[in-house]
Structure 1
Amino acid sequence: MNGGNVRRSDLGRLPLGRWAAGGALVALAGLLVVVLTSTDKSFLLGGILVLVGSLAVAAVVVIAVVRRELLGHVEYVNEVVERGVVEVLPPGRVAERLLDRVYGPSPYNQALLTALLGGEGRAGDGGDLTISEHTEIDYRLTRLDEANYHLVMETKYTFRKRVPTRNLVIFATSDETLRDMIVKGCRFPLFEMWFVREDETKSLFEDSVESLRDSVLVGVEHADGAGRTEVVEARHPGKHLREVRVRDWGGYLAFFGAGGAFDQALWMDRLRIFEIDLHGLARRPADVGAIQRLTLCSTTLQHIDDGFCWWQAPYPCFVERMSFDTRGFDLPGGEELRFNVKPFATEVRSAPAPWFTSDGVASVDLQAWLVPGHGMTLFWRPTRRT
């Protein structure tokens, strides 16, 4: 992409000093010939040398002025050229060329590209990318008994560009391998993932998934073809929520189905997929053109002994804040817990948080971009007694 760019080093390598010195020497030699000789031929030769040398010096002066002006505009010219290329080519193609140049050509670059862009980026206008430019996450933990607690999760996304889709896909899994692969393998632009850690003595997966399905609330702000928006407050999707049959999993995850690396029959006890028709939530479903904002709230059943809970970005998200309400999360017998919030991301502006008690709501002002693989974790441990 840099083949047409003007480089400052190319302009700076012009040997103008030597050219000027050469021209001056030629002109001086011509003057000496004119002064020291008296023949007509010598006078003519000296005049020619003076003319050539003077023209050479004048040309160097003109070139120096032009070069100075060009150097002052090189950055502007390069910016215009690069911006023109970036605007014309699909985002995925631009990123692919850049990654191949920086990391070297590799089939594994595609996973990084998808994570950074929020999709494959094959559409010229970036219409196939899902990027949330304003994201807020609120977690509330409430103990149920000595072993389990309810984790209430509310996430609000505001997308940089309206997402042209009618479906929200929800993946529920208890397998860590699937958890890490779903982000890369999902075929839909809008999706969410529920992860339930399994216990060696008692499985919570099915109970937790049923709790999720019964408790999920979805709200959207969508636009019609004329650009008019409608806000649908968060509510249970009811009949617009359905479970995807196992034989259809290949249409939702690229690593299942024909040519996929996995056989879905081997994962039936560790994965369930749900689909919500977002158009069905609107007052005029036929008018829904694209999703601009999404609010998702759900409740999962989790193990207290896990010692942590977390949120991970499903696609590129600029996260302003994340809060953890632990006021209802205590241990039997009056034992006090202490909590700590740690982000796992490349850039975090907030200072490391100290361990805190369950007296209130801990809010972290993150103000950072998170991509798949980045997120926030809440840890807890019993208070050390002296």
Structure 2
Amino acid sequence: MTWQPTSDWQRIGYQALAQLWLPLGLIAVVMFTYKRFLHRRLTTELAKLTGPTIVGSMPPQQVIESFLSSVYGRNDANRDVVAGILGGDLTTISTRTDVHLRLSAVSHDVYRLRNTITYRFRKNVTASHFIVFATSDARLRDAISYACEFPLFELWFIPDDSLFQHGVDSMLGKVEIGVDYRDYDNQVHSLGFRELSLKEVKFREWSRYLPLFSEPVGSFPRQHAHDYLGSLRIFDCDLDTMIDDGPPIESVERLSVRQAALERIDEGACYWLAPYPCYVDHISIDVRELDFEGSGAWEFLVMPFCFRASNVASSWLPAEEMTSVELRSWLLPGHGVALLWRAAKMDRVVGSGP
């Protein structure tokens, strides 16, 4: 038995339904198939296609902050993690970092530590100033990498307050720098090592270099410059003054820093800290001249504090075997490598022994 329309409106509705049921059914099947089988796959593929473009157009800090908020939840302390990864607001990232440490005895009590560090940056760093921060305050040392307003800087940490002023003064004349840079016409120039002309920054201007002296930075509350008059010194070098005859600096591709300092041998350790994110393949070490009398009196151990240290030998070695340490690791601000030494056992000094 079939239904027959009895009025004009029923006839119109019946005819419309007869013509539309097939398209409507097809649409329903398509929607079901999309929802059941295709939605997730299409969403994933679309994210693969557009995600890198969107992320690539965003500032790195914003990308990481968004990711951390989705994983850790919203928290002001997330900024400390971001700063640890990126090294502060002005990101300076060295994708190939050469570290060379050389120790040589000056007397039985004192040795000279020579550091030569070369940074090669993933993206040219737009900067023409190099800043040196010197401090004896451990908390301020940790804050500098996060709060520094300049992308190129070096950090000197002298933990003994009584030696701070003299130690800084003795290091000032022993800093050399070399750079590869691009000028404003995008031409590459290279400057070999030459002594820095450092100008000390007055404490009233410290906030230009460390904004934590004018406002809180991350988890660090605002600080007062007067509290650090005896434990902080800041020096500014205009890199353009290194150029004898050539165009000014627009951006830096490579930065090499060489410095020397006198230290006490009985401290038994020295270390290097990464000022900003650095990838380090290996560290070159020369300790043959630390033995003042050449009797093989010392043995050495390297202790890295970074993500990957499984390649580093955990045994004490004589000077002739302590030549290079393989890291193949990223070092973030606060990461580094410590070199320890102690008096060698007698069988190492005189031979194999009985």
TM-score range for the pair, normalised by the shorter chain length: 0.7 to 0.9
Q: Is 1:326 the equivalent of 2:287? A: yes
Is the 1:320–1:368 Cα contact (8 Å) retained in structure 2?
Answer: yes
Higher relative contact order (CA 8 A, sep 6+): 2
Q: What SS class does the counterpart of residue 333 from structure 2 fall into?
A: coil
The within-5 A match list for 1:253-332 is 253-257=210-214, 261-283=222-244, 286-330=247-291
| Matched letter for residue 136 of structure 2 | S
- The alpha carbon displacement at 1:142 in A equals 1.2
Equivalent residue letter for 1:291: V
Contact 1:326/1:360 (8 A) holds in 2: no
**Secondary structure of residue in 2 paired with 1:219:** strand
Q: Aligned to 1:93, what secondary structure does the other structure show?
A: helix
5 Å-filtered alignment, 1:85-100, equals 85-100=54-69
For the residue of structure 2 that corresponds to 1:346, the secondary structure is: coil
Q: Is the 8 A contact 2:124 2:251 kept in 1?
A: yes
CA–CA distance in structure 2, aligned partners of residues 110 and 325 of structure 1: 38
| 1:244 corresponding residue in structure 2 | 201
Deviation of 1:356 (Å): 0.9
Partner of 2:327: 366
Q: CA deviation at 1:187?
A: 1.4
Per-residue displacement from partner, 1:11-37 (whole Å, max 9, x unpaired)?
A: xxxxxxxxxxxxxxxxxxxxxxxxxxx
Larger radius of gyration: 1
Provide closer, same or farther for how the CA distance between residues 62 and 141 of structure 1 changes in structure 2, counting only shifts above 3 A: same
1:383 matched to 2:344? The reply is yes
**Unaligned residue ranges in structure 2 (runs of 5+):** 4-20, 348-354
Q: 2:82 aligns with which of 85, 108, 113?
A: 113
In the alignment, the residues of structure 2 paired with residue 166 and residue 246 of structure 1 have an alpha-carbon distance, to the nearest angstrom, of 22
Paired residues of 1:257 and 1:264 also in contact (CA < 8 A): no
CA distance in 1, matches of 2:266, 2:212: 32
TM-score (norm 2): 0.82
SS in 2 for 1:287: coil
1:261-302 CA distance string (max 9 Å, x none): 333233222222111111221245653211111000000122
Q: Distance in 2 between matches of 1:301 and 1:253?
A: 28
Contact 2:132 2:235 in 1 (8 A): yes
Aligned residue number for residue 219 of structure 1 = 178
SS at match of 2:159: coil
Q: How many residues align?
A: 330
Task: With the length of structure 1 as denominator, give the TM-score of the two structures.
Answer: 0.76
Of 297-306 and 263-272, deviating more is 263-272
Assess, with a 3 A threshold, how the Cα gap between structure 1 residues 153 and 78 changes in structure 2: closer, same or farther: same
Amino acid at match of 1:252: Y
Q: What secondary structure does 1:129 align onto?
A: coil
Question: Equivalents in 1 of 2:211, 2:336: separation in Å?
Answer: 24
Q: Among the aligned pairs, what percent are the same residue?
A: 34
The 3-state SS of whatever aligns with 2:323 is strand
Give CA deviations for 1:331-369 in whole Å, capped at 9, x if unaligned. Answer: 669461111112111233524343111125521121111
Take 2:335 and 2:272, find their aligned partners in 1: how far apart are those partners? 9
TM-superposed CA distance for 1:220, in Å, is 0.6
How far 1:222 moved relative to its partner? 0.7
**What residue in structure 2 maps to residue 209 of structure 1?**
168
For structure 1, the 5+ residue unaligned runs are: 1-38, 42-51, 121-127
Indicate the SS of the match to 1:255: helix
> CA RMSD of the aligned region, Å?
3.1
SS at match of 2:213: coil
Does the residue aligned with 1:359 lie in a helix, a strand or coil? helix
1:15 matched residue in structure 2: none
Quick one: which amino acid aligns to residue 352 of structure 1?
A
TM-aligned CA distance change 1:205 to 1:99, over 3 Å: same
Matches within 5 A, 1:20-39: none
Compared with structure 1, are the counterparts of its residues 59 and 333 closer, same or farther at alpha carbon in structure 2 (3 Å cutoff)?
closer
Higher alpha-carbon deviation: 369-378 or 328-337: 328-337
Q: 1:177 aligns with which of 128, 131, 139?
A: 139
2:173 aligns to what SS in structure 1? Answer: helix
- Relative distance call for 1:385 and 1:247 in structure 2 (3 A) is same
